[in-house]
A = this chain, B = another copy of it.
Amino acid sequence: MRTLVNGVSTDQISVADRGFMYGDGVFRTLKAVQGRLASWSRHYDKLASDAARLGIPCPDVSVWEGDIRQLMQSEAELQDCVVKLTLTRGIGPRGYAVPAECTPTRVVQLSPLIPPDAALYADGCLVGVSNVVMGSQPQLAGIKHLNRLENVLARTAMAGTGFFDALMLDEHGWVIEGIQTNVLLEMRDGRWLTPDLQRCGVAGITRDLIMQNARAQGVEILVSKVSMTDIHAASHIWLTNSLIGALPVRTLVCDQRTYPYQVKSLPAGWLLEV
């Protein structure tokens, strides 16, 4: 048993689920190490606030915890695993209109945790620039919702390149994020930057965690527009998400040229939940 849908052991949902019909829902991907969920309360808060922005009521944290515990108990070999949580607006009739009464669908899935090669953290990774331009939609920006075709297109375009990830830019050329990561820059002048996500992109919880820990150590990470000029002027770049933590970039490939970066780890403690 690796999947629960509304607490029941099944991997099936209805074709009338609005998650399937319209991508009308949100999700989270997090890791468990030795049965312990990383940044759990941060993930739950993000799930609930993303859902609230779509007007989807989120089940109480104890409901999700019960599901996760039940799955982990039945899958002893999955104490190190990826936990995926999906919450949709539930089943509804055909049509975009949201039913007056809706019962959200919650899905919890466990899968094996396959961390990136440890050498990538020491040596840094290779990153490209996607030719898929991100559309801007302030009402959806920041939310990890189920409308992810742009990411699918970008990931498809990256196939065969050997890139770990690719930077995605908006229509004005501002760097927003990686296909599956947020981006953090340390500039040669000492500033720290991460792209503003008010108009598109997903605001990951690892990005939040790093900003919070940095601030506690007296380092302000500026949330600002980031241009490719900024990218080229950075001394260090990291890609961040809940599964990889913070992975340093060794080389950026852009317009068939390569740009090297100094590889180093994030300052101590920036990835730790307090």
Contacting residues, chain B, for A38 (C-beta < 8 A): none
Decide: B147 and A137 in contact? CB cutoff 8 A: no
A109, B152: Cα distance in complex, Å: 26
User: Does A221 have its Cβ within 8 Å of any Cβ on chain B?
Assistant: no
Decide: A23 and B171 in contact? CB cutoff 8 A: no
Decide: A149 and B11 in contact? CB cutoff 8 A: no
Decide: A96 and B179 in contact? CB cutoff 8 A: yes
A62, B90: Cα distance in complex, Å: 32
- A51 vs chain B, min Cβ distance (A): 13
A149, B82: Cα distance in complex, Å: 26
A178, B131: Cα distance in complex, Å: 29
User: Does A3 have its Cβ within 8 Å of any Cβ on chain B?
Assistant: yes
Decide: A140 and B149 in contact? CB cutoff 8 A: yes
The 8 Å CB contact of A148, one of B54, B136, B147, B171, is B147
User: Does A262 have its Cβ within 8 Å of any Cβ on chain B?
Assistant: no
User: Does A204 have its Cβ within 8 Å of any Cβ on chain B?
Assistant: no
User: Does A120 have its Cβ within 8 Å of any Cβ on chain B?
Assistant: no
User: Does A42 have its Cβ within 8 Å of any Cβ on chain B?
Assistant: no
Most B C-beta atoms less than 10 A away, residue of A20, A107, A151, A171: A20
- List the B residue with the shortest CB-CB distance to A180: B96
The 8 Å CB contact of A152, one of B17, B24, B86, B138, is B24
- Cβ contacts A133-148/B at 8 Å (1 or 0 each): 1111111100001111
